[in-house]
Amino acid sequence: MSDLTQPELTPEKTAQLPVDVQPNTEAELAPSRSAKTRQMLGMKGAASGESNIWKIRLQLMKPITWIPLIWGVVCGAASSGNYTWTLENVLIAAACMLMSGPLLAGYTQTINDFYDREIDAINEPYRPIPSGVISIPQVITQVWVLLLAGIGVAYLLDLWAGHSFPTITVLAIGGSFISYIYSAPPLKLKKNGWLGNYALGASYIALPWWAGHALFGDLNSTIVVLTLFYSLAGLGIAVVNDFKSVEGDRQLGLQSLPVMFGVTTAAWICVLMIDIFQIGIAGYLVYIHQNLYATILMLLVIPQITFQDMYFLRDPLKNDVKYQASAQPFLVLGMLVAGLALGHAGV
C-alpha cells in the first residue's frame, strides 16, 4: 500500500526537481538501513517496497519474536538438571530451538498476520499482506509448511529422547492450536486483553521451557505450574505489543488492555505484571533454599524497574520498542537463572 502523502521519489522524478531540492545522496532515495532491518525482523517502523519473495516470507515470520522461544528451550534444558555439553546434545537442543523459533513461532506469526490483515492495514500498512507484496495463497502455503515441519521435528525429537508418550509432539500440536485460536475467529483469543495476552505469554515462556525440559529430563507438575506462573510475567510483556496497535484495535473492536483501561493504566498493569511475578519466582527459590539464585534474580529485576520508569511509564506509545530493547534482556537472563536454580535443586 503506497503512502498517499509521500509519493515515491524515484531517480527519474528526482532528475526533474530543481537543483536546490534534489537529494544529496542515493541513500536519500531509498529506505534507511535501519528501516530495512526493522522490516526483515518484523518490527514496528519498517520500510516498504521489498520485492524479494524470500525476504517477504521471512518478514511474515517476524524473526525478532523467535528469541524468547529459543531462550525458553535453553531454560528448560537447564531446569532438567541433565543437560551436558556434548556435540550431540548441542545439535539436539538446536533442533528443538529450530522447532520452537523459526518453525512454530514463524507459523504463529504468519497465521496472525493472515487474520490481522485488516488491522495491519490501519496500524502497519507496510506489512506484507496489506501492502499486497505477497498473495493469500502464498501465505496459506507458508502456514502449512511451517506447521507440518515444526510437528515433524517435534516427532523426531521424541524419538531421540526415547519417549514412550510423544510429549514434545503433543506440546507442538497443542501450542499450534493455541496459536490458531489466538488469531482466528470465532474464538480469536486476542480479542480479550487478559486471555489473549496470557495465552501469548504462556506460549512464549512455558511451552518452549516444557519442550527443553522434556527433551533432557522428565516434565513434571512442579515445572508446569511454576512456568505457568512465570508466564504471568510474560502476559505483561505481551501487553507491550498492544500499544502500537491501539487505534486499529479500537476501530475493529479488539479489547486489548490499552483499549479497555487507557494507555496510562494499561502501562502500569503491564509493568506490575512483569515485576511482581518475577519477584514471586524469586520467593519460591528462597523457599527451596536456592538463595544465591534468588538474589541474582532480584538484582536483575532492579534495572527492569529503572527502564520502566525511564521509558515505558513516561510514554508507552513512543518508547515501547526502546523499552523492550533495554529491559527485556534482564527478564530473559532472569528466566535462565530460575532454570539453573530449579535444575540445581532437582525440582
Concatenated DSSP letters of 173-215 = HHHHHHHHHHHSTTT-GGGBHHHHHHHHHHHHHHHHHHHHHHH
Decide if 46 is inside a domain. Answer: no
The whole-number pLDDT of residue 44 equals 57
The whole-number pLDDT of residue 25 equals 44
Give the count of domains, the chain: 1
Mean of pLDDT over the chain: 87
CB 331 within 8 A of CB 68: no
User: Would you call 42 helix, strand, or coil by DSSP?
Assistant: coil
What number is the average pLDDT over the span 263-279? 95
For the segment 47-69, what is each residue's pLDDT rounded down to a tens digit?
556 678 999 999 999 998 898 89
Q: Which residues pair with 192 in a beta bridge?
A: 255
| Residue of 294 and 50 predicted with greater confidence | 294
User: Would you call 236 helix, strand, or coil by DSSP?
Assistant: helix
Decide if 160 is inside a domain. Answer: yes
At 181, phi and psi to the nearest 5?
-75, -15
Decide if 234 is inside a domain. Answer: yes
Question: Which domain CATH number covers 279?
Answer: 1.10.600
Q: Half-sphere exposure (CA, 13 Å, Cβ side) for 171?
A: 29
DSSP string across 97-139: HHIIIIIIIHHHHHHHHHHTHHHHHHH-TTSHHHHTSS-HHHH
150 to 7, 144, 147, 154: CA distances (angstroms): 41, 10, 5, 6
For residue 258, the enclosing domain spans 51-345
Decide if 8 is inside a domain. Answer: no
Q: Match 544529496 to its residue by C-alpha cell.
A: 24
The whole-number pLDDT of residue 48 equals 56
Q: Give the confidence band of 120 by pLDDT, cuts at 50, 70, 90.
A: confident
Name the residue type at position 328.
Q
What number is the average pLDDT over the span 283-300? 98
Residues ≥6 apart with Cβ < 8 Å to 48: 1, 2, 3, 31, 39, 125, 126, 131
Decide if 23 is inside a domain. Answer: no
pLDDT > 70 in the chain, percent: 86
Q: Match 527485556 to its residue by C-alpha cell.
A: 328
Decide if 307 is inside a domain. Answer: yes
The whole-number pLDDT of residue 244 equals 79
Decide if 37 is inside a domain. Answer: no
Name the residue type at position 293.
Y
Decide if 154 is inside a domain. Answer: yes
Asked, as a colleague might, if the bond just before 186 is cis with ω within 30 of 0, I would say yes
